[in-house]
A = this chain, B = another copy of it.
Amino acid sequence: MKVGVLLSGCGVYDGSEIHEATLSLLALDHLGVEVQCIAPDIEQHHVINHLTGAEIPEKRNVLIESARIARGKIQALNTVNSDDLDALLLAGGFGAAKNLSTWAFAGADSDILPDVKHLILTMVHAKKPIAALCIAPTVLAKALQGSDIHPQLTVGTTTAPSPYDITAINAGLNSIGAQTIMTTVDGIVIDKTNKIITSPCYMMEASIAQVFVGIEKTCTALIDLVRESTTP
């Protein structure tokens, strides 16, 4: 069984959230599945100094920076054949909303990278499960916008502290056809019909151990869905 892990750079503010990506690789390894890291071979939207939060006048490539998390073992998105994958996981971090889509800047009116949309739609149409962490459910919603699929997903809850405006993100997601469900950091949402699993991770104020709880549940549910569909 092979799971694609879609990355979007290396660092929470301009790429993949490093803890979420790394802990997904750990949880998937614990589950005994093969992992294929994937990232688009495109320029990052921008580069953020993670110490100050300021933009740096540099250019970095999403595939090359994602390779830091993947220890060099990563495949360019435009060379991925979804036939080779049994499931897909999208790590979070602003890279999902800056490089894979432009949600961070335009919300529900954002664009999505065509190769990302294509991979997600191909997986969904093949009834292969997809997991998305943190802000990455917005990428799924953008990919499915305008289709007859209305995924149930979560980007967190307003009942616990979050650095982000969960109400506004939910409104944006609902406006393009997704159904949002409030969930705490240790929870997941499983959309059994569409085989989509989501967990809030660092959308909430959370410790790394709390984030790992959600990621372990997410990965377990993802692999369970693969096994259910492949069991005769």
Contacts and interface: CB of A to CB of B under 8 A. Distances in A.
Interface of A: 10-13, 15, 17-19, 22-23, 25-26, 29-30, 49-51, 53, 58, 63-65, 67-72, 74, 202, 207-209, 212
A13 B202 CA distance: 27
29 contacts: A10-B10, A10-B68, A11-B68, A12-B68, A12-B72, A13-B72, A15-B68, A18-B18, A18-B22, A19-B22, A19-B25, A19-B26, A19-B71, A22-B23, A23-B26, A26-B209, A26-B212, A29-B207, A30-B209, A49-B64, A49-B67, A50-B64, A50-B67, A50-B68, A50-B70, A50-B71, A50-B72, A51-B67, A53-B72
Contacts of A13: 72
Nearest to A12: B71
Nearest to A17: B71
Contacts of A212: 26
Given A18-B22, A51-B67, 15 more contacts: A10-B10, A10-B68, A12-B68, A12-B72, A13-B72, A15-B68, A19-B26, A22-B22, A22-B23, A26-B212, A29-B207, A30-B209, A51-B72, A51-B74, A71-B202
